[in-house]
Amino acid sequence: MKTKQISEHIWSLRTWMVIPIHVWVVVEEDGVTLVDAGISLMGKGILNFIENLQAGPLKRIVLTHGHSDHVGAINTILKENSVPVFAHSIEFPYMEGELAYPGRKKPAQSIEKNVAQPLNVDANDSLLPIGGLTPYLTPGHSPGHVVYYHTKDQVLLAGDLFTSKNGKLHRPIPMFTSNMGEAVKSSEIVRQVKPKRLEVCHGNPVINPADHLDTYIRKTAEAYSIPEQNVFKG
């Protein structure tokens, strides 16, 4: 597993299984937050990394979504550290195997019931910050997909909202994407928060991604015949 500090508070941990798979460790005031949990063989490596970092104990795991390549190490980690696991409430029936992800034939359970809990929301159902991270609902790749923005470091941990190619934003993996049009619409989050750096699970980082957003939207909408009114927010 390759590890790299990408900003003042954030480390990225990468393994490779056909495609690159990243998770992120965020240093908080009270310990560390793990963003996504990769595949099962990353479990020991993640635990060792956190121990060696000496930035305090693991306090929580937050998930971008429930696909199996984002939750794989949870059991190994929870055996050593009993910490809460958070995901968006919309994602639960899919990852817990009650419903098939849109576009998939069968339900597939990727996480056992009662392991995860919904991200906290305020009275208006807006997602509340968790540690130094602010979650945003960005559906499309999966119905309850969220990205996490680290305001202080100006880094957007974008999960599978995108992949990247030649340092630019690139569409999420089509075979595993529930609704490409919706994913493209959700990419507007990049214009909203204007991160200095954007990280994706399956690819290299994108620097100043807002600069490439229009090109990304145009290219992807064209390639997937997405009607314009479905892409640009009015």
Which residue, judged by CB position, is nearest to Zn ion in the bound state?
A: 67
DSSP-derived letter for residue 120 is P
Q: Which stretch binds Zn ion (CB under 5 A): 36-44, 100-108, 153-161, 210-218?
A: 153-161
Q: Is 67 in the site for Zn ion (CB under 5 A)?
A: yes
Listed ranges 12-20, 59-67, 100-108, 183-191: which one lies at the site for Zn ion (CB under 5 A): 59-67
Nearer to Zn ion, 59 or 171 (CB): 171
- Segment lying near Zn ion (by CB under 5 A), choices 88-96, 146-154, 201-209, 218-226: 201-209
CB of 83 to Zn ion, least distance (A): 22
Quote the strand ranges of 36-165, DSSP E. Answer: 58-62, 85-87, 116-118, 133-137, 146-150, 155-157, 163-165
Burial (CB count within 10 angstroms: exposed 0-12, middle 13-18, buried 19+), residue 234: exposed
Q: What is each CA distance from 155 to 66, 67, 71, 87, 92, in whole angstroms?
A: 22, 22, 22, 19, 26
Kindly report the number of other CB atoms within 10 A of residue 72's CB atom.
22
Q: In this complex, which beta carbon is closest to Zn ion, that of residue 25 or of residue 146?
A: 146
Q: Is 160 in the site for Zn ion (CB under 5 A)?
A: yes
Q: Which residues bind Zn ion (CB under 5 A)?
A: 67, 69, 160, 201
